[in-house]
């Protein structure tokens, strides 16, 4: 029976030591988690390194969150801030930004081309209007010259083409 008492005492002591060790492990884990929480906090100092204070999975997630915050800050500062975006953002964000920049440039080019076409159309319309006006003036002058030509008893023009040309004194009055 004494062996049983000794064995029971040893088992009890081992249980107490294991319990103390478990509680100490919990306290150590709690301290690690507290340090990790301080390192990944948004208002954490720049010297706080989640890679040292946290398990690797948490450190990777914290690094991704920090990069996302830096990327957001770069966009908030100025959307055209390509250096800030290139330094802070991930590849998909950079790709979307590059596609957006290309689309903006293409839209600008097309807007300029459309503006040039409109200017060309306006110039063509102005030329056509001037040409039509000139033709109308010439037609009116020719009609006036025919009306002013001498006529015979039947109302027919008596003067030939040379006669008509002679009636006009200067070149600016010719039809």
Distances (CA, A) of 36 to 27, 29, 30: 14, 10, 10
**Rg, C-alpha atoms of the chain:** 48
Structure tokens at 91: 């590849």
Bridge partners of 138, per DSSP, are none
Task: Give the pLDDT confidence score for residue 111 in this predicted structure.
Answer: 93
Q: How many CA atoms lie within 13 A of 119 on its CB side?
A: 6
27-61 pLDDT, tens digit per residue, is: 666 666 777 777 776 666 665 677 766 777 777 88
111-145: pLDDT as tens digits: 999 998 998 898 889 999 999 999 999 999 888 87
Rounded to a whole number, what is the largest CA-CA distance in the chain? 166
Burial label for 147, CB within 10 Å (0-12, 13-18, 19+), is exposed
How much is the mean pLDDT over the chain? 75
Strand, coil or helix: 155: coil
- Spell out a b/e string for 81-119, using b for 16 or more CB atoms within 10 Å of the CB, else e: beebbeebbeeebeeebeeeeeeeeeeeeeeeeeeeeee
Pick from 13-17, 29-33, 122-126, 171-175 the range whose average pLDDT is largest.
122-126
The pLDDT, as a whole number, for residue 109 is 94
pLDDT score for 62: 78
Give the span between the Cα atoms of 29 and 2, in whole angstroms.
Answer: 40
């Amino acid at each position: 029976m004494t062996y049983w008492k000794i064995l029971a005492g040893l088992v009890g002591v081992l249980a107490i030591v294991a319990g103390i060790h478990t509680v100490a492990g919990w306290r150590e884990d709690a301290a690690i988690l507290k340090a990790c929480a301080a390192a990944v906090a948004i208002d954490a100092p720049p010297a706080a390194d989640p890679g040292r204070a946290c398990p690797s999975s948490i450190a990777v997630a914290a690094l991704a969150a920090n990069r996302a915050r830096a990327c957001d800050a770069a966009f908030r500062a100025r959307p055209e801030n390509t250096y800030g975006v290139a330094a802070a953002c991930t590849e998909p964000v950079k790709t979307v930004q590059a596609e957006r920049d290309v689309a903006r440039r293409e839209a600008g080019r097309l807007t300029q081309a459309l503006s040039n076409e409109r200017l060309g159309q306006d110039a063509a319309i102005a030329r056509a209007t001037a040409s039509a006006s000139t033709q109308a003036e010439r037609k009116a002058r020719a009609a006036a010259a025919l009306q002013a030509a001498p006529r015979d008893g039947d109302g027919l023009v008596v003067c030939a083409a040379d006669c008509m040309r002679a009636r006009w004194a200067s070149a600016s009055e010719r039809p």
